[in-house]
Amino acid sequence: MPAPRTREQPRVPGERRPLLPRGVQGPRRWRRAAGAAVLLVEMLERAAFFGITANLVLYLNSTNFNWAGEQASRAALVFLGASYLLAPVGGWLADVYLGRYRAVALSLLLYLAASGLLPATAFPDGRSSFCGEMPASPLGPACPSPDCPRASPSPYCAPVLYAGLLLIALAASSVRSNLTSFGADQVMDLGRDATRRFFNWFYWSINLGAVLSLLVVAFIQQNISFLLGYSIPVGCVGLAFFIFLFATPVFITKPPMGSQVSSMLKLALQNCCPQLWQRHLARDHQGARLLPDQRSPQPGASPQEDIANFQVLVKILPVMVTLVPYWMVYFQMQSTYVLQGLHLHIPNIFPANPSNISMALRAQGSSYTIPEAWLLLANVVVVLILVPLKDRLIDPLLLRCKLLPSALQKMALGMFFGFTSVIVAGVLEMERLHYIHHNQTVSQEIGEVLYNAAPLSIWWQIPQYLLIGISEIFASIPGLEFAYSEAPRSMQGAIMGIFFCLSGVGSLLGSSLVALLSLPGGWLHCPEDFGNINNCRMDLYFFLLAGIQAVTALLFVWIAGRYERVSQGPASHSCFSRDRG
């Protein structure tokens, strides 16, 4: 999350400010209204995003598409990874071409169009229009032995769904990159305290949107209808787009000011590939010597500042790269944790209307069941509770006792909690498989798919969700703090984009690992289960993730210690060009 600006910047050419009544209360009231509009847009966008991701595995695993469990988990991980990996694209487009206002508006419009694909494919006519008819399962001779390999069929409608999900990911990442700093622009004139409070409320808006989506949308998707359940996120994005346009008269908008990405790429080329750099100089003898491009009328950093910024980037990158395995663990709660929960006993709640029994989730009798995605609320609620508790009570107490850990030390602690979360998930999976192998199963129908679940209650998943929520407090939030406190002010946006990009890399690596282990002979290769995972060894997958996290956590501790020693040395005080925010 972008760091608040602590001092007012001079008005730049092309900046548009609303015509507000003069006086003490007039401008302040409208600045707050602009900030509130941004918060509302963010809440609605996050509600839509979590509404799409919460039951995506279940949607693809349903009879609408009949995707295998590992195929659905892989698609969810690819979507989540892309929504972070593409974050620098939206930020770069806003910096160079569009400006933040137009970038957010166009991203919301793309979001609205792409998200409409999910409800369109939730009913038969729409599905056949976009995807064609579902191919019939081929008939063949029975497998002579339980160990003979079987190829998993190509998932139905995969090109259309992947294209739609990637467009949603592009739009969501662009909103994430630009809306936060755009909101800070609206309240920057009210002072440092107002900017700090805006970021606090911004973080809460994200979690409030998640709570509303998980409580309402996830229940509707799992128990009533995917058509209605995926229509609600489309409505949320449409309402967010309308509010953003409606509030345009009170927004402060700034023109694109250019980006230092090209300068950083030139410096990287010059340092890593000097021969290639010499060829580039020969082709553009005059312009290539200028860093940044001095032919541009826009103001920019000097060549000395570019070199200093590049050196800072080289120091920060190893710290952020060693967080990638943590993100591999973190995104399990929206993929393999969900798949594991579908194979645990989900208790019943509100009695269903007998006339709607065909739409109800019928695990036992005619009752609705608790949506598996509701367990994500354990993560969200622990964040909502611990963030203000940590900010107002724990951190001040540790500061008075001079025991407050640095951001890097908090990140190491977050890795430890992520490690314990995936260990707990692995132990639970071992216990679940113990029941399965002794033929102790409970048949439950979820989204018109029959699962052979273990009699273990789904509530046993709560500890792993709580632990991953605690890890987020200590790894994700201090990671943002580290990125912005250590970055030069002129590169805060670029480094924030890299931070989100690397978190997306973690999700995609998790997806690649699932794909690798789903090959014949792998721990997750169980096509004979037809969507179930009872013949897979997901427990070994969890323990493998824990081992990767443990090794990289030790590497992170070494890199972080070295970084802190260098930063505390005398050389760190002579970096004249690092205007830290």
Domains annotated on the chain, with CATH: 27-132+156-258 (1.20.1250.20), 259-273+309-349+369-569 (1.20.1250.20)
| Per-residue confidence (pLDDT) for residue 6, from 0 to 100 | 40
Query: Strands (DSSP E) along 197-280, which ranges?
Result: none
Mean pLDDT of 198-214: 79
- Would you say residue 228 has pLDDT above 80? yes
Q: What percent of the chain has pLDDT over 70?
A: 69
Top-confidence range, 23-27, 76-80, 551-555: 551-555
Give residue 195's pLDDT band: very low, low, confident or very high (50, 70, 90): low
| Per-residue confidence (pLDDT) for residue 359, from 0 to 100 | 35
What is the tens place of the pLDDT at every residue in 512-554? 888 888 888 888 877 655 557 788 888 899 999 999 999 999 9
| 301 or 579: which leads in pLDDT | 301
| 310 or 336: which leads in pLDDT | 336
Using alpha carbons only, give the angle 488, 491, 497 rounded to the nearest 5 degrees.
130
Of 277, 287, 553, nearest to 422 (Cα)?
553
- Would you say residue 242 has pLDDT above 50? yes
| Per-residue confidence (pLDDT) for residue 443, from 0 to 100 | 79
Contact 37, 247 (CB under 8 A): yes
Three-class DSSP category at 136: coil
Give residue 26's pLDDT band: very low, low, confident or very high (50, 70, 90): low
| Per-residue confidence (pLDDT) for residue 255, from 0 to 100 | 79
Per the omega criterion (within 30 degrees of 0), is the bond before 292 cis?
yes
| Per-residue confidence (pLDDT) for residue 49, from 0 to 100 | 94
Give residue 62's pLDDT band: very low, low, confident or very high (50, 70, 90): confident
| Per-residue confidence (pLDDT) for residue 24, from 0 to 100 | 45
What is the tens place of the pLDDT at every residue in 80-136? 878 888 888 887 788 778 888 999 999 999 999 999 999 998 888 888 888 877 776
Phi, psi of 350 (to 5 degrees): -35, 135
Which pTM was predicted?
Answer: 0.68
Contact 395, 404 (CB under 8 A): yes
Top-confidence range, 33-37, 378-382, 447-451: 33-37
| Per-residue confidence (pLDDT) for residue 16, from 0 to 100 | 65
Cα first-last separation, the chain: 13
- Would you say residue 436 has pLDDT above 60? yes
- Would you say residue 200 has pLDDT above 70? no
> H or E element: which one contains 455?
strand 449-457
| Per-residue confidence (pLDDT) for residue 579, from 0 to 100 | 46
d(Cα 282, Cα 537) in Å, to the nearest integer?
57
| 375 or 238: which leads in pLDDT | 238
| Per-residue confidence (pLDDT) for residue 80, from 0 to 100 | 81
| Per-residue confidence (pLDDT) for residue 373, from 0 to 100 | 60
Query: Rounded mean pLDDT of the chain?
Result: 75
Mean pLDDT of 395-406: 72
Mean pLDDT of 255-270: 65
Top-confidence range, 17-21, 162-166, 312-316, 341-345: 162-166
Give residue 390's pLDDT band: very low, low, confident or very high (50, 70, 90): confident
- Would you say residue 220 has pLDDT above 90? no
| Per-residue confidence (pLDDT) for residue 164, from 0 to 100 | 92
**H-only helix segments in 390-536:** 395-400, 407-437, 462-486, 492-517
